[in-house]
Amino acid sequence: MKRKVIDNVVAFILYLSSAIVLGILIWFIYTILKQGLSALSFNFIFGRPLEMEAGGGIGPELFNTFYILILSLIVTIPIGLGTGIYFAEYAKNGLGTRIIRLGVETLASLPSIVLGLFGMIVFVIGMKMGFSIIGGALTLSIINIPVIVSVTETAFKEVNPTYKEASLALGTTKWQMIYSIMLPCAFPKILNGINLAIGRAIGESAILIFTAGTNVSRSFPDFNILSTGETLSVHLWYVKAIGLIPDADKIAAGSAAVLILIILIINILMKVMSYKMQNKFFGKSKVI
């Protein structure tokens, strides 16, 4: 009887903790959207920002946000996937592996502002890229690679080992087994890691202030990777901290609402993709 009471108390505490977290999330989203939705309009979302006048938009910043995100993912995903697969399937417990793992873990724990300073020294000054979209994207890749590495390694190790054994028993090579069996099985969980990287890239500001700059190109849209690339999160910071526009509060609230909506939409899309992939490979039963 005593054990059952303790079990019920612990279960109640866990449910309460989950409810508190969910409540904080709902409260946060409601507060941001309540203040920002009234500022949203076609001109605001697709218009150009104004430096000294009211009524500016966030079109170039919104474009730069997605452009830098896509460029960073082009670098992040192959390197992160490759390193994660190496740790899960090829790495031996030797000195070299421990050094690489230590490097990945160190990158994951570095403050973003330190990586921003690194990006500025290497890409902006050292490689003479200036404040540019490509400099910001490359620096974002550095901060997100450890996320993909960790999630990929964990996802591969959680795949049912009988899949691997059956594939190798049929005469496939190790790479064929990884490509045709392990990767499809692990990919729904890898998508979760990619989702985390996307959210971090969209919301990052410190890195991009040092590398992509706080201005936008005169052209819109501008696909030149060497153009300055102020993103939406940087614009939000700039408007509240330095901007001189009379409707700074309205612009900031609208920018925050757009960021929240982008993150929500991306999260929903990624969850749907992950669910469909799990059903495609495993039906309605979860085997990993």
204-219 residue pLDDT tens: 888 999 999 888 888 8
Structure tokens at 45: 């979302």
Each domain of the chain, given as residue ranges in start order, spans 40-282
Whether the predicted model's global pTM rises above the 0.85 cut: yes
Q: Which CATH superfamily is domain 40-282 in?
A: MetI-like (1.10.3720.10)
Band of pLDDT at residue 1, cut at 50, 70 and 90:
low
Of 259, 258, 288, 261, the residue nearest 274 (C-alpha): 288
Q: 285 pLDDT exceeds 50?
A: no
Of 78, 90, 75, 91, the residue nearest 201 (C-alpha): 75
Mean residue pLDDT of the chain comes to: 87
User: Is residue 221 reached through a cis peptide bond, with omega within 30 degrees of 0 on the bond before it?
Assistant: yes
Contact present, 229 and 68 (Cβ < 8 Å): yes
- Tokens 């993150």 map to which residue? 263
Q: What is the rounded distance in angstroms from the CA atom of residue 217 to the CA atom of residue 229?
A: 7
Band of pLDDT at residue 287, cut at 50, 70 and 90:
very low
Helix axes 133-157, 59-85, angle to 10 degrees: 40
Q: 288 pLDDT exceeds 50?
A: no
How much is the pLDDT for 280? 67
Q: 77 pLDDT exceeds 90?
A: yes
Run of H or E including 265: helix 248-282
Q: 196 pLDDT exceeds 70?
A: yes
Band of pLDDT at residue 245, cut at 50, 70 and 90:
confident
DSSP state string for 56-118? ---HHHHHHHHHHHHHHHHHHHHHHHHHHHIIIII--SSHHHHHHHHHHHHHHHS-HHHHHHH
Q: 189 pLDDT exceeds 90?
A: no
**Cα four-point dihedral sign 98, 99, 102, 103:** negative
Band of pLDDT at residue 22, cut at 50, 70 and 90:
very high
Residue with more model confidence, 275 or 86: 86
Q: What is the rounded distance in angstroms from the CA atom of residue 81 to the CA atom of residue 209?
A: 28
131-183 residue pLDDT tens: 999 999 999 999 999 999 999 999 998 888 888 888 888 888 888 888 888 88
Of 65, 4, 35, 1, the residue nearest 198 (C-alpha): 65
Contact present, 162 and 252 (Cβ < 8 Å): no
Of 187, 284, 227, 244, the residue nearest 61 (C-alpha): 227
**SS3 assignment, position 229:** strand
47-66 residue pLDDT tens: 888 877 888 889 999 999 99
246-282 residue pLDDT tens: 888 888 899 999 999 999 999 899 888 877 777 766 5
Of 220, 229, 241, the residue nearest 57 (C-alpha): 220
Q: What is the rounded distance in angstroms from the CA atom of residue 21 to the CA atom of residue 90?
A: 39
Provide, rounded to the nearest whole percent, the portion of the chain with pLDDT above 70. 96
Q: Which residues of 53-65 are buried (b: 16+ CB within 10 A; e: fewer)?
A: eeebbbbbbbbbb
